[in-house]
Amino acid sequence: MVTRLASERMSKVDTAWLRMDSPSNLMVIVGVWALKPAIRYEELCRRVEERLLKYARFRQRVAQDATGATWIDDAKFDLRKHVVREKLPSHRKSGAQDALQKRVGELAMQEFDPKRPLWQIHFVEDYEGGSAMIFRIHHCIADGIALISVTLSLVDGGEPPPQARRKPSAAASENWLTDTLVKPIADIAAKALGAAKSMDLAKLGMQVASDAAAMLLMPDDSKTRLKGKPGRTKRVAWCPPMPLEEVKAVGKALNCSVNDVLLSCVAGAIGEYLRTHGDDVRGQEIRAMVPVNLRPIEDAHKLGNRFGLAPLVLPIGVENPIERVYEVRRRMKALKGSTQPVLAFLVLALSGLLIKSAQDAIMSMFGRKTTAVMTNVPGPRTKLKFLGSTLEQQMFWVPQSGDIGLGVSILSYGGGVQFGVITDSTLCPDPQKIIDEFEPEFAKLALVTLMLPWGDDV
């Protein structure tokens, strides 16, 4: 008797991400959890089996063909191939975090076995008095928002929602074009229209036309040392958490959002890094692509990619921290109401319909116009528990496509906010030097804020 394996056609957006792998950039989302006290391998495997494997995607491999790809249940699925033990090399001189950062950089460029589901958890049982977990998940499975929701279902008290356990319907493979391309685009377009209730259709049409023209006519990005042809190795670094309440206080005093403050620190840190390497950045700007979630918050657990991209120009040449934070605020306001994230989603969806060479040409065009990919994700306000241990720190990085060689992640968690950087080692061999500039940039902003002539009510 032959057992028929369940299968489901991959959406065109997810297919675009699947085919976006290149020798310089793999489309792999990488994350790190640091836990105290230590946990055990067998307990970790049981938790992953109980929680993560209830999502069908994590038991499915990918089969590609001339017109796209299909999710197929892996008949030979072996959990031990996906939850693997890691032992960090001796770190007496450099420290455990340096050893972990080096390993994360290596794993960011390690390809998955195409005969198996495209994810792994690398488990370091002994790390700084506890344990560490390195997550690697291919972007075609889901975007960052969905994956944070899914991985948090692993924590104590977390459970996958009922939707995660449903099997794909037989109709999914028959109506794949409608189900995986037209319907999501229609849903997103409807949301965009719903958000623009106060706008008449003519005004909305003008907005779309204006945003489309702006995307097409974007000039190539500034030629800094962070822009160029990347190599084939990655480096990662992250800093200790900064108190989120202090960031909020500075933002409130300056009438800016937390995002404005954090993004100003990013621009300042990159600008200072370039200055210390002898570059003249006066008047310089770099463009960062910022993912914009296009799914309702109640659908955060659903897998697949439902996000667009918005181009944010960072004023790295503005040294005055107050002037810079207000310039960031102005640019963030200009992005609000833009339809560019929806247009970017459409471009990704349509590129998934094209042959790979045509898709590569589109991605190359966007790569020339961009220096970095940047994400900013709010996490739980209190620290979580995992197998009875405390999840002390978490960090993640989304991949860069084409020739983009810099990724910046901002994550708030447990009362702190953390910066992480991933770089191509050819363009930036020591991302720690960028990381080391974040805290001083915030300190300068906080100090100048305190020196301003406030009234008695402050």
- For residue 299, what are the CA distances in angstroms to 53, 90, 183, 363? 19, 43, 15, 28
Binned at pLDDT 50, 70 and 90, residue 342 comes out as confident
Secondary structure of residue 196 in the 3-state scheme: coil
Question: Would strands 68-73 and 60-65 be described as parallel, antiparallel, or unpaired?
Answer: antiparallel
DSSP code of residue 240: P
Average pLDDT over residues 20-35: 94
pLDDT at residue 214 in the model: 59
DSSP string, 261-309: HHHHHHHHHHHHHHHHTT---TT--EEEEEEEE-S-GGGTT--B--EEE
pLDDT in tens, 109-126: 999 999 999 999 999 999
Domains of the chain, by residue range, sit at 7-165, 181-451
CATH 3.40.47.10, applies to 181-451: no
Contact, 124 vs 132, CB < 8 A? Answer: yes
Q: How confident is the model at residue 171 (pLDDT cuts 50, 70, 90)?
A: very low
85 CB-contact burial (10 Å; exposed 0-12 / middle 13-18 / buried 19+): exposed
**CA atoms of 143 and 300, how far apart (whole Å):** 10
- 371: tokens are 């220096």
Give the highest mean pLDDT range of 103-107, 225-229, 255-259, 301-305. Answer: 103-107
Decide whether 7-165 matches 181-451 in CATH topology.
yes
Per-residue pLDDT tens for 46-100?
999 999 999 999 999 999 988 889 999 999 999 999 999 999 987 666 689 999 9
pLDDT of residue 180: 34
Token pair of 74, please?
């892996």
Phi and psi torsions of 44, nearest 5° = -60, -45
pLDDT at 12: 87
Question: What does the alpha-carbon distance between residue 321 and residue 325 come to, in Å, rounded to a whole number?
Answer: 6
Mean pLDDT in residue range 312-333: 92
Burial classification of residue 55, based on how many CB atoms lie within 10 Å of its CB (0-12 exposed, 13-18 middle, 19 or more buried):
buried
Residue 311: band (very low, low, confident or very high) from pLDDT cuts 50, 70, 90? confident
pLDDT at 382: 93
The token pair at 254 is 């300056």
385-386: strand order across its sheet = 83-86, 119-127, 130-138, 28-36, 389-397, 385-386
Contact of 70 with 62, CB cutoff 8 Å:
yes
Rounded to 10 deg, the angle between the 340-351 and 183-195 helix axes is: 170
Query: Which whole number is the average pLDDT over 426-437?
Result: 95
Beta-bridge mates of residue 341: none
Whether 246 has a pLDDT exceeding 90, the answer reads yes
Read off the DSSP letter of residue 142: B
Q: In this predicted model, what pLDDT tens digit does every residue of 370-427 receive, in sequence order?
A: 899 998 888 888 999 999 999 999 999 988 988 899 999 999 999 999 999 999 999 9
pLDDT at 305 > cutoff 90: no
d(CA 150, CA 395): 15
> Rounded to whole angstroms, what are the CA distances from 52 to 45, 119, 152, 380?
10, 11, 10, 19
pLDDT given for residue 203 in this prediction: 64
Q: Would you say 296 and 146 are in contact if contact means Cβ atoms under 8 Å apart?
A: no
- The answer regarding whether domain 7-165 maps to CATH 3.90.550.10 reads no
The model's confidence at residue 166, banded by pLDDT at 50, 70 and 90, is very low
Structure tokens at 329: 């605020």
Provide the pLDDT for residue 39: 97
pLDDT of residue 184 exceeding 60, the answer is: no
pLDDT bracket for residue 271 (50, 70, 90): very high
- Tell me the average pLDDT of the chain: 83
For residue 182, the model assigns a pLDDT of: 38
DSSP one-letter code for 87: -
Count other C-beta atoms under 10 Å from residue 279's C-beta: 15
